A and B are shown apart, each in its own frame.
Chain A
Amino acid sequence: MSAALLATATIPDAVTFALAAVICVVGALGVVLVRNPVHSALSLVMTLFGIAVLFVEQDAQFLAAVQVIVYTGAIVVLFLFVIMLLGVDRRERVLADTFRGQRVVAVVLGLMVLAEVVLLGHTRWTTGAHAAAGPLNGPGSNVAKLGRSIFTTYLVPFEVTSALLVVAIVGAVVLARRPGMRDGSAPPGAAEGLEEPVSPGAAGEGLDAADEDEDDKAVAR
């Protein structure tokens, strides 16, 4: 393995790749195998840092920084927030089968996918013409080239992406809203300190623990 690694690489590059690869794989296995979801999230951070190192190794400095900032700084923290908020950090019996033989089938399918992708990765893959985005090597920094490509060639997808983010924000707000707050205002009775009687007709339709919770809060205020 080391001979093949060193065929085209210098020793520091090979060592960096090997260390980062080990970090990535150990973190990924940790995500899958560890029982506590908080530990899974921390293992995911480990994998993401390893991938950021591999990005730097391959002349993607901007993406490495974004990887650390966005993924480990925002997404994993969001995961941890939800884990803590919901209190779902109970341990799960990883080896218990719901369907008989599900684990075995999953592992066999995974090995098939691995073999297939590795075979594809070691054969010839270059077909057709290059994209029009521009070369990776050449004068200028990585950020400048990436920015020029995004704001010229890929300007329309970039704008569509912003629309997607707005849709995601609106969707998150709609999902996080409590069912009783139909017009986005405060819960009934909260403003004037009044207790609003719950009509039995409304209670029969889709009202559940969340609404009762909210009514309790309104009473408490």
Chain B
Amino acid sequence: MSVNASWYLTLAALLFTIGAVGLLVRRNVLVMFMCIELMLNAANLTFVTFARALNDIGGQVAVFFVLVVAAAEVVVGLGIIVAIFRRKVGATADDAHVLKG
């Protein structure tokens, strides 16, 4: 028997919080993107935990879809970042505060 589900949920909450604070605190666009991945992974951990706690494979299927959507999001997001950085020199989100220019 594995560890109680509450501990997994607490860990997932901690990871989500770290990701959220990082998204608010950091200013490098790529690091902000990594923090989004962190939050997605915390949500995935929650899904898997509930799949085990409720004896339901649906939670794992949800994680599967989250993975696919995260991959698509990363591809488009990094494409946008490359397109922005090609015309600007700055590395932080503050350098791109004027989007139409």
Contact = CB atoms under 8 A, between A and B. Distances in A.
Interface string A95-114: 00010001101110111011
Contact of A37 (B2, B30, B49, B79): B30
Contacts, number: 263
Q: Which of A5, A7, A75, A161 has the most CB of B within 10 A?
A: A75
B19 to A, nearest CB: 7
B91 to A, nearest CB: 4
> Interface SS of chain A: helix, strand, loop or mixed?
helix
B77 to A, nearest CB: 10
Interface residues of A, number: 93
Contacts of A92: 26-28, 31, 91-92
Contacts of A37: 28, 30-31
Given A32-B22, A171-B76, A44 B30 contact: no
B38 to A, nearest CB: 6
Contacts of B94: 98
A82 interface: yes
Interface string A115-151: 0011001100110001111111100001001100110
Given A88-B30, A136-B57, A31 B67 contact: no
Contacts of B31: 31-32, 37, 40, 92
Interface in A161-203: 161, 164-165, 167-169, 171-172, 175-176
Contact of A7 (B4, B15, B70, B86): B4
Contacts of B4: 4-5, 7-9
A37 B76 CA distance: 19
A62 B48 CA distance: 12
Contact of B21 (A62, A106, A126, A149): A106
Given A13-B1, A41-B34, A114 B25 contact: no
A32 B15 contact: no
B8 A58 contact: yes
Interface string B46-84: 001111101111111101110111111111101111110
A94 B38 contact: no
Nearest to A14: B3
20 contacts: A14-B3, A17-B2, A37-B31, A44-B34, A47-B15, A47-B38, A48-B41, A55-B48, A63-B44, A75-B71, A79-B34, A105-B24, A110-B24, A121-B10, A130-B56, A135-B57, A154-B65, A164-B72, A175-B83, A176-B79
